C-alpha cells in the first residue's frame, strides 16, 4: 500500500531530523535519486524544517529583522514544498499514463500528491502532539486534552491513509482519473509579483 510507504518514510524523516534538531542541518537523503522514495523523503524534510521555522517566527520577543528573515525563509520553503508536491504528482501521472479511464470514471479534486502532502503534515503533528502528552510541567487537565487531540490526529491519519490507498487503487483500475493542478505561486516570481517587477 502506498500510504504505508509514505508513512514509513515520513516517520523516518521526522526521527532523522529530531536526532539533530537543527533547521540548517544538511540531510543526506538515504534513497536513490529519481525515485518516489527520494521525493517523499525530500518533501517531508522540507515540511519538518518549515514546522520549526514556524515555531521560531512566533516567538513574541522576536526582533523585527529576525522575523522578516524567517518569513522569507518560510516563503522559500513554501515554494519548494509546492514544487515537490507537483513532482510527486508527475510521478503518478507517468506511472499510470497507460491506464485508460473507464467511461464512467470519476474525477477526484484532490490529487494523490495533495493527499500525501497532508499525510506528511499529519505525521509531524502526531510526533509533536505526542511530545505534548509526555510533558511534566503542565496540569493533568492539560495532559488529558493533549491526549484527546493525539487520539483524534491518529484517527485522522488512519482515515487519510485509507483514502490515499483507495484513490490510488481507483486510478490503477480506471475508476477514477487524476489531473495535476499547478500551484502557480506568484509571490516569489519577479515577473508576476508587482512589488518585485515594479522595482526593476
Phi, psi of 100 (to 5 degrees): -90, 115
Packing angle, helices 64-95 and 36-57, rounded to 10: 160
Band the pLDDT of 198: cuts 50, 70, 90. confident
Cα gap 7→193, rounded to integer Å:
36
DSSP 68-114: HHHHHHHHHHHHHHHHHHHHHHHHHHHHTTTPPPPTTPEE-SS-HHH
User: pLDDT tier at 188 (50, 70, 90 boundaries)?
Assistant: confident
In a domain, 196, yes or no: no
Residue 197 covered by a domain: no
- Which domain covers residue 8, as residue numbers? 2-191
Helix (H, G, I), strand (E, B) or coil at 75: helix
C-beta separation of 40 from 6 below 8 A: yes
- pLDDT surpasses 80 at 167: yes
Number of domains in the chain: 1
- Which of 133, 97, 90 lies closest to 112, judged by CA? 90
Domain assignment of residue 70, yes or no: yes
Instruction: Determine the 3-state secondary structure of 104 from DSSP.
Output: coil
Is 198 a member of any domain? no
Residue with cell 496540569: 139
CA atoms 85, 90, 91, 96: torsion sign:
positive
Is 76 a domain residue?
yes
Give 103-157 pLDDT, tens digit per residue: 999 988 899 999 999 999 999 999 999 999 999 999 999 999 999 999 999 999 9
Amino acid at each position: 500500500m502506498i500510504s504505508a510507504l509514505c508513512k514509513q518514510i515520513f516517520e523516518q524523516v521526522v526521527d532523522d531530523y529530531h536526532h539533530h534538531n537543527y533547521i540548517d542541518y544538511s540531510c543526506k537523503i538515504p534513497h536513490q535519486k529519481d525515485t518516489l522514495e527520494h521525493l517523499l523523503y525530500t518533501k517531508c524534510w522540507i515540511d519538518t524544517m518549515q514546522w520549526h521555522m514556524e515555531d521560531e517566527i512566533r516567538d513574541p520577543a522576536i526582533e523585527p529583522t529576525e522575523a522578516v528573515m524567517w518569513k522569507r525563509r518560510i516563503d522559500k520553503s513554501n515554494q519548494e514544498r509546492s514544487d515537490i508536491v507537483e513532482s510527486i504528482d508527475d510521478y503518478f501521472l507517468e506511472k499510470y499514463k497507460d491506464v485508460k479511464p473507464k467511461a464512467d470514471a470519476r474525477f477526484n479534486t484532490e490529487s494523490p500528491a495533495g493527499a500525501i502532502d497532508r499525510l506528511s503534515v499529519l505525521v509531524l503533528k502526531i510526533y509533536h502532539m505526542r511530545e505534548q502528552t509526555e510533558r511534566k510541567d503542565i496540569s493533568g487537565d492539560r495532559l488529558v486534552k493533549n491526549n484527546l487531540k493525539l487520539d483524534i490526529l491518529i484517527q485522522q491519519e488512519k482515515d487519510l491513509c485509507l483514502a490515499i490507498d483507495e484513490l490510488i487503487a481507483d486510478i490503477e483500475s480506471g475508476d477514477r482519473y487524476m489531473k495535476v493542478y499547478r500551484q502557480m505561486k506568484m509571490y516569489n516570481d519577479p515577473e508576476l509579483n508587482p512589488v518585485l517587477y515594479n522595482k526593476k
